[in-house]
Every structure is written in C-alpha cells, then in structure tokens.
Amino acid sequence: MALSDYGRTLEDEFFHREDQKLLQRLRELKKMEETVAVLSQASGIKNETTLKKLVELNVPPATLAAAALIPLVEVAWADGTVDEKERAAILQASEKSGSGAGAVQRSLLEEWLRKKPEPRLFKAWTVYIEGLCDDLSQAQINALKVEVLSNARAVAEASGGILGVGYKISAKEEAVLKKLEAAFKK
C-alpha cells in the first residue's frame, strides 16, 4: 500500500470517529429537546433555560408533576423524621390538590415519606418555581405562594407542640418555610 493510501486511511478513520462523535452529540441534543418538551408539558414552564436546568438535574416528568408536594415533604423532614400527623396532612393535601391521583405520583410520595429525599429534589423544586414565576403575573405568583406556604405550614403545625401544647412550628420547620418563601422572589 502506498504512503498516500495510508494517509487517506488515517484521514478516513479520523473523520469517521469525528462523524460518530457528532452523531452522538446530535442524538443527545434531540433527546434533551424531547425531554425539555415533555417537562414543559408536565410543568407549564415555557422558559427553556429553566427546563434545561431541570433536565440537567435529571428530574423526570412524573417527579415534576408531583412538584407541588415537594415543599410539604421538605417541611415534614425538617426535624429529621416524618410522624403520622405530618404524613396524614401531606396525604390530605395531595388528595385535595389532585397531585396524588396518579399511581406514579402516589408511589413517589410514599417513597419520599419513607426515606428523606436527596437535597437535589428541593433544588429542582426551587428551579421549577423560579421558572414558573417567569411565566406568571405578580398576582398569580402571590396566589401560588400563599397556597404553597399555607399547605406547608399546615404540615409544620400538624405535630403540634409537646402534647399539643406550646409552639407548634419548630425552628427547623420555620427555616424551611423561609426557604420556600424565598423561592418565589423575582
């Protein structure tokens, strides 16, 4: 084989590898676009930057659909455990909102109540709320904030003080409530 033939073979191999890398990158971009579209449909968020951030956080659409429950779970776990009264308050809020109607959402919720979710779940919720707020008027943001905080406060108050007497919300739960409220600021 002539030296020029070897050169051409090496060149062909190089471009073949580069083509494969480009094809893989195109597949990844297409998958991200599809995931972004599904997340947009599940969440109502239109902001592509926010949706891509949720994809980077590996938030599946089913989890996003259950996003309304994340603040409640976060408050319940604030003191390190979820007691039966907190659990009942979360399940009641889930049924009231319709968030727990689907089997996938119910399964997720049961898992979150059994085992404390990773911090990335709360981070994903924060990104979700920030993106949602981009698409809402200030009045809509305020209404959503009141709803989320009142549901979260109900969970925090569910356990009550010692023997139902005393301060109903612990300092740790209050700190989580403040973090929830901060997510709504533009």
Q: How many CA atoms lie within 13 A of 9 on its CB side?
A: 6
How many domains, the chain?
A: 1
Token output for 123:
């981070």
- Quote the pLDDT of residue 110: 87
Q: Which residues contact 65 (CB under 8 A, 6 or more apart)?
A: 42, 43, 99, 102, 104, 105
Rounded Cα gap, residues 113 and 73, in angstroms:
7
E strands within the chain? none
Cβ–Cβ under 8 Å, residues 76 and 87: yes
Q: Report pLDDT digits (tens) over 119-131.
A: 999 998 998 888 8
Among 62-66, 95-99, 142-146, where is mean pLDDT lowest?
95-99
Mean pLDDT of 103-126: 87
Q: Which domain holds residue 70?
A: 3-182
Residue 54 CA to residue 45 CA, distance in Å, equals 11
pLDDT tens, position by position, 39-95? 777 666 777 877 787 788 777 777 666 777 899 999 999 999 999 999 998 888 877
Whole-prediction pTM = 0.66
Asked if residue 107 has pLDDT above 60, the reply is: yes
88 within 8 A of 44, measured Cβ to Cβ: no
What SS3 state is found at 162? strand
Q: Would you give the DSSP letter of residue 115?
A: S
Task: List the end-to-end C-alpha distance of the chain, in Å, as a whole number.
Answer: 68
The answer, yes or no, to whether residue 100 has pLDDT greater than 50, is no
* 3-class state of residue 165 by DSSP: strand
Question: Does residue 166 register a pLDDT over 60?
Answer: no
Can you tell me the distance from the alpha carbon of 173 to that of 89, in angstroms, rounded to the nearest whole number? 15
Q: Cα(117)–Cα(66) distance, rounded to whole angstroms? A: 13
Average pLDDT, the chain: 78
